[in-house]
Structure 1
Amino acid sequence: MTTFLQVLLNGLMLGGLFAIVAIGLTLIFGIVKVVNFAHGEFLMAGMFVTWLITTRLGLHPYASVIIVVPMMFLLGALTQRLLIQPLMSAEDDHVQIFATVGLSTAMINLALLIFGADIANTPNFGLRTPIEIGPVRVLTGQLYIFIAAIILVIALQLFLKNSQTGRAIRAVAQHRVAAELMGVNVPRIYILSFGLGAACVGLAAVLIAPLYPTSSNIGTYFVLTAFVVVVLGGLGSIPGAFFGALVIGLVDSLSGFYIGSDLREAVVFGIFLLILILKPSGLFGKRMTLSHLS
């Protein structure tokens, strides 16, 4: 029984980690309607900056949040303004997707050029210390990630529901043309939204860096799982991304323990295919998307 509880707890903690990566992805898609294939490379960039700040300045990894989050917001805003925005009027929407794929490839190769192929390990400052919760254990860093994911979901929900900017964002997500006719600066909202999505992944990078080794391809694993989470939770749904991440985390942990670690990804992506076939709108469907938060 203790083993089963430990596996469940590991799954929940893993789900919190997936959630904090997927929230930024679903935020960008829900508003800008662009699938950002460079999302994993944004995470990788944030993790490398966290590593640099921690190793060169000797600061706690979490202290780098004051640099990494604004930096990632700026990177996201510039990506939208300089790369995506000029392509918004293109007849084929796939052009925008190809642009993010190109950005992803460029960022991976730039990281290889700067940091090489070696793995960078961010000092953990005790974040790998286990905490006893009854008969089970959890790493301190994992617990912080899970709490941060909950706070992030609540904060974004409150921002989107109660602030004037949040209402403008929801209006654009619901109907771009109608929002523009009502005086909303749609291009500005797109830039802001892309920046917010990138800032979320910057926060994820700061929290994940002390627990996982950083390399040029670190983002690939996380972003592939994040896509599964976003589809499971419902494209554009922030609560859906969180609960979908918990489901995927539990599936990953249970299948890895009871079926085999070499087959857990097969199980996760098998669920992904089933969702696409049986319920493409995800667990929350369109009912809980960003455009229907009011």
Structure 2
Amino acid sequence: MNTFLQVLTNGIMLGSLFAIVAVGLTLIFGIVKVVNFAHGEFLMVGMYLTYVLTTWMGIHPFATVILVAPALFVLGALTQRFLIQPLMSADDDHIQIFATVGLSTALINMALLIFGADIASTPASGLRTPLQLGPVRLLSGQLAILIASVAIVLALQLFLSRTQTGRAIRAVAQNRAAAQLMGINVNWIYILTFGVGAACVGVASVLIAPLYPTSSGIGTYFVLTAFVVVVLGGLGSIGGAFAGSMIIGLIDSFAGFYIGSDLREVAVFSVFLLILILKPSGLFSSRLNLSHVSP
């Protein structure tokens, strides 16, 4: 029983890690209707910023969030304003996707130019301290990620349902033309949403950097799983992204322990393909979509 509980806990911790990356991705898609293939590189930028602020300036990793999250917000807002927005009137919607792929490549090469190919390790500052909670063990940093992922999901849901700006965002998600007729500045909403989505991944980077080595390719690992999570939970569904993250985390953990670590990705993508065939819209899309957040 103790082994089962430990594997279950590991799955929940892993799921919370995926969730904190995926919520920003699904928020951007749910509102702007653009799949941001540079999302993983936003994470990479945030992790490098955390590394620099921690190692060069001596700031505690968690304290860097007050600088990293706003920096990523600005990066996301500028991306929408100067890269995506000019292309939104193009006849082919795919050109926006190609633009984010180009941005992804540019950010990777900039990281290689500045930091080289070597791995950068952010000081853990006590975040690798093992905690014994009854029969299970986990790291203090993992517990922080779980708490942060739940807090971010709840904060976004409250923001979307309880604030005037959140209601405007939901209106744009539901019907862009009608929102414009109501006097909502749709372009500003898109810029704000892209910034908030990038800021979410900025928070994720601060939490992940002390636990994982930073490199120019770190974003690829997380964003591939985040795409699986977003599609599984339902494109544009914040709650669905969180639920999908937990499902993928548990599958990964149990498959890795009971089947073998070499086959856990096979198990994850097999379940993903099965869900995609049976319910292409995602498991939770109809109930938790951004345009249906309760007022």
2:89 corresponds to 1:83? no
1:136-184: CA deviation from partner (whole Å, max 9, x where unpaired)? 1010000000000011111111100010000000000000000001100
- Match for residue 66 of structure 1? 66
DSSP-derived class of the 2:261 partner: coil
Kindly state the Cα deviation for residue 275 of structure 1 after the two structures are TM-superposed. Answer: 1.7
After the TM superposition, which parts of structure 1 deviate over 3 Å for at least 4 consecutive aligned residues? Answer: none
Note the 1:22-37 alignment, pairs <5 A: 22-37=22-37
Q: Gapped runs of 5+ residues in structure 1?
A: none
- Match for residue 161 of structure 1? 161
When structure 1 is superposed on structure 2, of 271-280 and 144-153 the one drifting more is 271-280
- Match for residue 100 of structure 1? 100
DSSP-derived class of the 2:37 partner: coil
- Match for residue 281 of structure 2? 281
Distance in 2, matches of 1:116 and 1:208, equals 20
Look up the equivalent residue of 1:200 and give its one-letter code: C
Distance in 1, matches of 2:281 and 2:143, equals 30
Kindly state the Cα deviation for residue 286 of structure 1 after the two structures are TM-superposed. Answer: 2.6
2:110 corresponds to 1:110? yes
Look up the equivalent residue of 1:154 and give its one-letter code: L
1:166-207: CA deviation from partner (whole Å, max 9, x where unpaired)? 000000000000000110000000000000000000000000
DSSP-derived class of the 1:286 partner: helix
Distance in 2, matches of 1:81 and 1:234, equals 26
Distance in 1, matches of 2:195 and 2:123, equals 28
Look up the equivalent residue of 2:41 and give its one-letter code: E
Distance in 1, matches of 2:88 and 2:275, equals 29
Q: Gapped runs of 5+ residues in structure 2?
A: none
Contact 2:236-2:285 within 8 A present in 1 as well: no
Kindly state the Cα deviation for residue 114 of structure 1 after the two structures are TM-superposed. Answer: 0.6
Distance in 1, matches of 2:166 and 2:285, equals 21
Kindly state the Cα deviation for residue 214 of structure 1 after the two structures are TM-superposed. Answer: 0.2
Distance in 2, matches of 1:161 and 1:215, equals 37
When structure 1 is superposed on structure 2, of 48-57 and 255-264 the one drifting more is 255-264
Look up the equivalent residue of 2:105 and give its one-letter code: T
Look up the equivalent residue of 2:128 and give its one-letter code: R
- Match for residue 3 of structure 1? 3
Look up the equivalent residue of 1:89 and give its one-letter code: S
- Match for residue 251 of structure 1? 251
Look up the equivalent residue of 1:274 and give its one-letter code: L
Note the 1:15-26 alignment, pairs <5 A: 15-26=15-26
When structure 1 is superposed on structure 2, of 84-93 and 279-288 the one drifting more is 279-288
Look up the equivalent residue of 2:197 and give its one-letter code: G
Task: Tell me the matched-pair count.
Answer: 294
Distance in 2, matches of 1:213 and 1:102, equals 24
- Match for residue 217 of structure 2? 217
Kindly state the Cα deviation for residue 287 of structure 1 after the two structures are TM-superposed. Answer: 2.7
Distance in 1, matches of 2:121 and 2:105, equals 23
- Match for residue 12 of structure 1? 12
RMSD value over aligned CA atoms?
0.7
- Match for residue 196 of structure 2? 196
Kindly state the Cα deviation for residue 263 of structure 1 after the two structures are TM-superposed. Answer: 1.2
Distance in 2, matches of 1:37 and 1:125, equals 32
Distance in 1, matches of 2:273 and 2:103, equals 27
Contact 2:117-2:216 within 8 A present in 1 as well: yes
TM-score by length of 1: 0.99
- Match for residue 176 of structure 2? 176
When structure 1 is superposed on structure 2, of 269-278 and 174-183 the one drifting more is 269-278
1:99-128: CA deviation from partner (whole Å, max 9, x where unpaired)? 101111111111111100000000001101
Look up the equivalent residue of 1:108 and give its one-letter code: I
Kindly state the Cα deviation for residue 268 of structure 1 after the two structures are TM-superposed. Answer: 1.0
Kindly state the Cα deviation for residue 92 of structure 1 after the two structures are TM-superposed. Answer: 1.0
Distance in 1, matches of 2:121 and 2:261, equals 23
Distance in 2, matches of 1:66 and 1:170, equals 27
Note the 1:125-136 alignment, pairs <5 A: 125-136=125-136
Kindly state the Cα deviation for residue 238 of structure 1 after the two structures are TM-superposed. Answer: 0.5
2:55 corresponds to 1:55? yes
